[in-house]
A and B are shown apart, each in its own frame.
Chain A
Amino acid sequence: MAKTGILIETENGAVKDTTLGVMTAAAGQEIVALVMDANPADLKDKLAEYGAATIVAVKAGAGDIEASPDLAAECLAAAVGECGLTALLGTASATGRDLFARLAAILDAPMVSDCVSVDLAAKTAKKSHFSGKTFATLKVNADLFLATVRPNAIEAVAAPAGGEIVEFTADVADPGLVTVKEVKRGESGKMDLTEAPVIITGGRAIKAAENYKMLEDCAARLGAAVGASRAAVDAGYAPHSMQVGQTGKTVSPKLYIACGVSGAVQHFAGMKTAKVIVAINEDKDAPIFAKCDYGIVGDIFDVVPKLTEKL
């Protein structure tokens, strides 16, 4: 059976939910889970439940992979060879996007970014081209298939396997080109938009930065992250890190609730692959109602608190 590696991402010492969907993308293959940022023993039960035959703890022989993204990529490249992988999949998260691009450059191997589905046997992957207006099916002509998968695009399905833990120490030199000096933490406890299963977004109609509190209260009930439209960011109501759409984040949650968002094509470019889109807008003619699943015409300052109350 062909061996497919999965780069495992963790948060607070546990496997991220988005990683489990990536494992499901490799169903039918022998799955090798590559762990770089956590203690594999803590992850064993979960990774075995979702199909990992082997769990490889990848370590650098020398140097700090947290501080050198190129060293992390070199270690991963060495692990691909050591484990005899014919494919390696990761999450199209901030970490995954950067690491896989570095890895692809090191191996001079083709890589498909942000796939919504992959066919490992056929070596094809489906992904958005032209801001979600089209899907391209790409064929990879190479021995090694590298791809990142869009978070939440593939629903995780349990498929128990052995989950045997092995260690691999990569004997590679740190290229020492880029050094991570620090990580500036934003407000604590905020969920990463690109990986959130549910997102509630405030547009221009939110009227003031402090009114995002209303969305945050609702998000806490929903288990959601809070986003903003470009109009709201440009008006200074929210930071750019919250922007959904072109020049912001591309997201693909199960549920997307747009509150007071008009629905510009640039906004849809960032969220149209969401499973269910709900719009709440005072203007019954807002363009967003033509392209979403459910609509409520109403004042967001009436509807959102009511939604929070009823959840």
Chain B
Amino acid sequence: MKIFVCVKHVPDTAATIKIAGDAGFEDGEIKFVVNPYDEFGVEEAVSLVEKDGGEVVIVTVGKAAAAATIRGAMAMGAHRAILVKTDGQFLDSALTAKALKAAMEQDGLGDMVFTGKGSVDTESFQTQYRLAKSLGLPVANEISALSIDGGKAVAEREIGGGDKQVVEMGLPCVIGATKGLNEPRYPKFPDIMKAKKKEIKEVALGDLGIDENSGSIAIETLETVPERSGAKMIEGSVDDQVTELVRILKEDEKVL
């Protein structure tokens, strides 16, 4: 099996985002990681290949610095990677999907594609659908359980309230992974060293025939969401505290 895993290079959730200009952020100093949902995709792909043989190819669209993040995904067991390089920080989902498709076609299409259910930077939750549509493949997102048998994939999607939808697709297909699908492995030191020697093929977005500035969505402004400045603490006996809380929620906040 040849499995592609789309991995995004995103700021660590714990990083402080400092706004730069109107619509960008300072990306020089902060820590970047493999998008947390993509880790479930990498783990699933690597496990499948460990069982049945084949190779796992990481595909990333991002700035040159994404190479370091890709090494992290390769340390989990992926064999090689393709980095489609962009100049800017933001590329809309439609262009990202085009870039992923072009990179996969250039490399030779595989038997499966994994992505995360979405990325924690732009939170757009749609690139995998656009990629699947352009490749003519079935897609299912937010998958927390998967079995592959007899040329078919059966997957479970959480649909709220604890309910789960079971969907069936033919292969190849595109799967958007989420928590529950597996436990992503922590790479061991030898795996990290081995990953340093693995191939990352770099290709510029423009060389795939895609104009970085042709997107249909642009960020006009990016602004920091103010943090709450600390709780108003409610003192007294448990009875007093709860009585006051209920009064505040009903009378002051009007949320009950």
Contact = CB atoms under 8 A, between A and B. Distances in A.
Interface in A279-311: 279, 289-298, 302-303, 306-307, 310-311
B166 A183 contact: yes
Contacts of B219: 136-139
B245 A105 contact: no
A295 B126 contact: no
Contacts of A180: 165-167
A247 B36 contact: yes
Interface string B116-133: 001011111110111011
A3 interface: no
A241 B162 contact: yes
B246 A310 contact: yes
B218 A139 contact: yes
A102 interface: yes
A276 interface: yes
B120 A108 contact: no
A236 to B, nearest CB: 13
Interface stretch (B10-18, B56-64, B104-112): B10-18
Contacts, number: 254
User: Which of A136, A193, A242 has the most chain B CB atoms closer than 10 A to its own CB?
Assistant: A136
Contacts of B139: 102, 177-178
B238 A306 contact: yes
Size range of the interface on A? 35 or more
Interface in B111-155: 118, 120-126, 128-130, 132-134, 137-142, 144, 154
Interface of A is mostly: mixed
Contacts of A135: 222-223, 225
B238 A192 contact: no
Size range of the interface on B? 35 or more
Contacts of A255: 249, 253, 255-256
B94 interface: yes
Interface string B218-230: 1111111101101
Contacts of B253: 255, 275-276, 293
Contacts of A266: 13-14
A277 B23 CA distance: 29
Interface string B36-62: 110000000000000000000000000
Given A276-B255, A296-B242, 17 more contacts: A98-B141, A112-B124, A113-B124, A130-B25, A131-B120, A134-B224, A137-B222, A177-B169, A181-B166, A184-B166, A190-B162, A247-B178, A254-B255, A269-B120, A293-B232, A294-B248, A302-B238
